[in-house]
Amino acid sequence: MPANLTPQYLKAGEEYKRAQTPEEKLAALRQMLALIPKHKGTEKLQAEIKSRIKKLREELQESRKKGRRGPSFRIPREGAGQIVLVGPPNTGKSSLLASLTKANPQIGPYPFTTHQPQPGMMPWQNVQIQLVDLPPITESYLESYVPGMITAADAAVVVADAGSDEILDALEECLGRLERARLFLTSWPDRFQDADQDEEVARLGGKTLKRAIMVVNKMDAEDAEERLSLLHEAYSKRFELFPVSVTTGQGLGELPDRLWQLLNAIRVYSKPPGKPVDRDAPFTLPAGSTVMDLAELIHRELAEKLKNARVWGEGVYPGQPVARDHVLHDGDIVELHFR
Ligand SMILES: Nc1nc2c(ncn2[C@@H]2O[C@H](COP(=O)(O)OP(=O)(O)O)[C@@H](O)[C@H]2O)c(=O)[nH]1
Ligand SMILES: [Mg+2]
């Protein structure tokens, strides 16, 4: 091994070799440059990495100018939040979208039916949650825009196929491919973020964590229960599993509740002083948001003039005056007072 290269550096080198898009290559090279021991013995290698980075950056800039990149999609976020459906081919992502929303995606018994993101709105109580069906992911197939869309979404659902003997391999490929694209999905991002002594977590270095659950579809299939147990063994530390069957409807009634929770959001109702509240038009904010966050959401300029507020809801007496930094709860009614 030349010049005492560390295992971390070699790992980055490995990722570089496996990188499929110029963006991934660039990220891996930057990682290599950051991790390479800086001394005389590695000078040549450092120079080589730098020149590869330079070349890739130029190539990327060039292709951006020419607009010759792969198709790029952005689905504007609508409603209370955006949740993307990801997974291996043929697991029932599109079927799930069709059963929970009014969207009408292509559904087929063959893989790779979906190539473009397909959004749909799922009603939940008095809000709508946006679901976006994404193309399948395998070891060798990942549409270039998919990691960006997962990163931009509020949360993700990994859809697994309990009717398939390849369930574990397919998931490992899919999740592994996403990790190479610097994305790590888990139901407990905080747990993975905090426990950084843990070996598992060292592996996470530099990846984006995205909150997700694993929906295990096709529970009507033969041997589905056994496959669900396998999944529990393999993934219960990383994902909450949610068994369903789109075909029989099993679990679909409870799924919207779970998806709302996955957003980690609250609904608050703003009411003008002296007027009744409109219960049909909640604002949705990330959990932990304050009165000031609400004011900013409603009107950025007006927010500066916010003096205080009165709140009806959790932890306050009805109509209690509160300061701008008062933390709101799901269902709170807020009367904003401006200077
Ligand atoms: N047995 C069974 N088949 C299903 C279920 N959900 C979807 N399928 C079938 O699985 C195949 C793939 O579905 P599709 O929604 O296109 O999967 P996608 O590739 O993940 O979008 C289709 O033939 C569906 O009819 C289910 O709950 N049970
Ligand atoms: Mg599909």
Q: What percent of the chain has pLDDT over 90?
A: 60
CATH code of the domain made up of 82-263: 3.40.50.300
* Span 272-297, average pLDDT: 91
DSSP bridge partners of 268: 283
Of the listed ranges 84-98, 99-113, 175-189, 268-282, the one predicted with least confidence: 99-113
Q: Confirm or reject: Cβ of 91 under 6 Å from ligand 1.
A: yes
- With 50 as the cut, is the pLDDT of residue 336 above it? yes
Which residue's CA lies nearest to atom 19 of ligand 1? 90
* CATH T-level assignment (fold) for domain 2-66: Methane Monooxygenase Hydroxylase; Chain G, domain 1 (1.20.58)
Q: Exposed e or buried b for every residue in 57-79, given b needs 16+ CB within 10 A?
A: eeebeeeeeeeeeeeeeebeeeb
- Sketch the domain layout of the chain as residue ranges: 2-66, 82-263, 265-338
Distance 93 CA to ligand 1 centre (A): 7
d(C-alpha 243, C-alpha 196), whole Å: 31
In whole numbers, what is the pLDDT of the chain averaged over residues?
89
Tens of pLDDT along 31-84? 889 888 888 888 989 999 999 999 988 888 877 766 545 556 778 888 999 999
The region of weakest confidence among 4-13, 140-149, 184-193, 273-282 is 4-13
Ligand located closest to 87 CA:
1
User: In this prediction, what percent of the chain has a pLDDT beyond 70?
Assistant: 91
Confirm or reject: Cβ of 247 under 6 Å from ligand 1: yes
Mean pLDDT to the nearest integer, 318-327:
95
Contacts of 322 (CB under 8 A, 6+ apart): 291, 308, 309, 310, 311, 316
| 95 C-beta closer than 6 A to ligand 1 | yes
- Bigger pLDDT: 246 vs 145: 246
Give whole-number Cα distances, 238 to 38, 190, 244, in Å: 36, 11, 19
Determine the pLDDT at residue 302: 77
Across the strands, what pairs with 209?
A: 184
Protein residue with least CA distance to atom 8, ligand 1: 92
CATH homologous superfamily for the domain 265-338: Beta-grasp domain (3.10.20.30)
pLDDT at 235: 97
- Give pLDDT, residue 111: 62
Ligand nearest to the CA of 118: 2
pLDDT classification of 1: cutoffs 50, 70, 90: very low
